[in-house]
């Protein structure tokens, strides 16, 4: 008795493909224009009481934001990140951040508490 052996798939039968289906296209994000002021505020909400300085209103593209964030983090000696169109720097270093932003040509406005 000879058992039926499975036949190998022919070359023209499609088993799996990632070329079609639901492929999300990345959209270009519009940069919010700046009014000339870099807004600096301190937040603790959602961070277990840890203070974070949030800088918004810069009007820069993503690459320039990352470069500025790197410079701020290095100057402050702390961590941070770029989230959407804002820069977050850990710790309360508002004075140092103000000096760096003013050297970069931004007018600084403290908002919040």
Q: Please indicate, yes or no, if residue 89 is contained in any of the structural domains.
A: yes
CATH code at position 90: 3.30.780.10
Q: Please indicate, yes or no, if residue 104 is contained in any of the structural domains.
A: yes
Q: Please indicate, yes or no, if residue 11 is contained in any of the structural domains.
A: no
Domain that holds residue 71: 37-110
pTM of the predicted structure, to 2 decimals? 0.69
H or E element: which one contains 69? helix 62-76
pLDDT tens digits in sequence order for the chain, 113 residues long: 566 666 665 566 767 777 777 767 776 667 777 677 889 999 888 778 788 999 998 888 889 999 999 999 999 999 999 998 899 999 888 899 999 999 988 899 998 86
- How many domains does one find in the chain? 1
Q: Please indicate, yes or no, if residue 79 is contained in any of the structural domains.
A: yes
Residue 7 zone, left/alpha/beta (φ > 0; ψ -120 to 50; rest): beta
């Amino acid at each position: 008795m000879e058992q039926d052996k499975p036949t190998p798939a022919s070359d023209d039968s499609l088993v799996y493909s990632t070329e079609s289906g639901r492929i999300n296209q990345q959209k270009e994000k519009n940069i919010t224009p700046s009014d000339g002021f870099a807004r600096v505020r301190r937040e603790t909400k959602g961070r277990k009481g840890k203070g974070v300085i949030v800088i918004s209103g810069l009007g820069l593209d993503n690459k320039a934001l990352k470069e500025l964030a790197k410079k701020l983090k290095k100057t402050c000696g702390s961590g941070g990140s770029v989230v959407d169109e804002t820069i977050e720097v850990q710790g309360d270093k508002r004075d140092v951040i103000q000096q760096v932003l003013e050297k970069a040509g931004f007018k600084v406005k403290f908002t919040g508490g």
